Protein backbone atom coordinates (compact mmCIF):
# COMPACT_ATOMS: atom_id res chain seq x y z
CA UNK A 1 0.00 0.00 0.00
CA UNK A 2 1.30 3.44 -0.91
CA UNK A 3 2.05 5.78 1.97
CA UNK A 4 -0.04 8.92 2.15
CA UNK A 5 1.92 12.11 1.56
CA UNK A 6 1.36 15.77 2.33
CA UNK A 7 0.36 16.31 -1.28
CA UNK A 8 -2.12 13.44 -1.34
CA UNK A 9 -3.71 14.68 1.89
CA UNK A 10 -4.08 18.19 0.43
CA UNK A 11 -5.60 16.79 -2.77
CA UNK A 12 -7.98 14.48 -0.90
CA UNK A 13 -9.27 17.21 1.39
CA UNK A 14 -9.60 19.70 -1.46
CA UNK A 15 -11.59 17.22 -3.52
CA UNK A 16 -13.79 16.24 -0.56
CA UNK A 17 -14.70 19.92 -0.18
CA UNK A 18 -15.57 20.16 -3.88
CA UNK A 19 -12.80 22.64 -4.56
CA UNK A 20 -10.70 22.90 -7.71
CA UNK A 21 -7.00 23.63 -7.60
CA UNK A 22 -7.89 27.13 -8.77
CA UNK A 23 -10.37 27.56 -5.91
CA UNK A 24 -7.75 26.52 -3.37
CA UNK A 25 -5.11 28.70 -4.99
CA UNK A 26 -7.39 31.73 -4.84
CA UNK A 27 -8.13 31.09 -1.15
CA UNK A 28 -4.39 30.97 -0.42
CA UNK A 29 -3.28 33.77 -2.76
CA UNK A 30 -1.23 31.25 -4.75
CA UNK A 31 -1.24 30.20 -8.38
CA UNK A 32 -2.94 27.03 -9.60
CA UNK A 33 0.53 25.82 -10.63
CA UNK A 34 1.77 26.26 -7.05
CA UNK A 35 -1.13 24.15 -5.72
CA UNK A 36 -0.37 21.51 -8.35
CA UNK A 37 3.25 21.39 -7.18
CA UNK A 38 2.16 21.03 -3.55
CA UNK A 39 -0.26 18.21 -4.42
CA UNK A 40 2.38 16.35 -6.43
CA UNK A 41 4.94 16.72 -3.61
CA UNK A 42 7.31 18.66 -5.88
CA UNK A 43 7.31 21.61 -3.46
CA UNK A 44 6.86 21.93 0.30
CA UNK A 45 4.76 24.78 1.68
CA UNK A 46 6.16 27.43 3.97
CA UNK A 47 4.96 27.30 7.56
CA UNK A 48 2.54 30.16 6.87
CA UNK A 49 1.12 28.40 3.82
CA UNK A 50 0.80 25.13 5.77
CA UNK A 51 -1.24 26.91 8.46
CA UNK A 52 -3.39 28.60 5.80
CA UNK A 53 -3.92 25.25 4.05
CA UNK A 54 -5.11 23.70 7.30
CA UNK A 55 -7.54 26.59 7.86
CA UNK A 56 -8.96 26.53 4.32
CA UNK A 57 -9.21 22.73 4.25
CA UNK A 58 -10.82 22.57 7.73
CA UNK A 59 -8.15 20.36 9.22
CA UNK A 60 -5.03 20.57 11.37
CA UNK A 61 -1.41 20.99 10.44
CA UNK A 62 -0.81 17.72 12.30
CA UNK A 63 -3.13 15.88 9.90
CA UNK A 64 -1.53 17.47 6.84
CA UNK A 65 1.96 16.50 7.98
CA UNK A 66 0.95 12.99 8.99
CA UNK A 67 1.10 13.59 12.73
CA UNK A 68 -2.60 12.98 13.38
CA UNK A 69 -2.27 10.59 16.30
Q: Where are the domains of the chain?
A: 6-59
In this structure, are residues 60 and 16 in contact, taking their beta carbons and an 8 Å threshold? no
For the chain, give the number of residues. 69
Distance from C-alpha of 62 to C-alpha of 66, rounded to nearest angstrom: 6
Supply the pTM of this predicted model.
Answer: 0.93
In this structure, are residues 28 and 56 in contact, taking their beta carbons and an 8 Å threshold? yes
State residue 3's pLDDT score.
83
For residue 56, give every residue at least 6 positions away whose Cβ sits within 8 Å of its Cβ, in sequence order, or none. 24, 27, 28
State residue 1's pLDDT score.
59
What CATH topology corresponds to 6-59? Answer: 434 Repressor (Amino-terminal Domain) (1.10.260)
pLDDT > 70? residue 69 = no
Amino acid sequence: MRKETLGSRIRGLRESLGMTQTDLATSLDLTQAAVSQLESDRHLPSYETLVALADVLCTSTDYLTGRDL
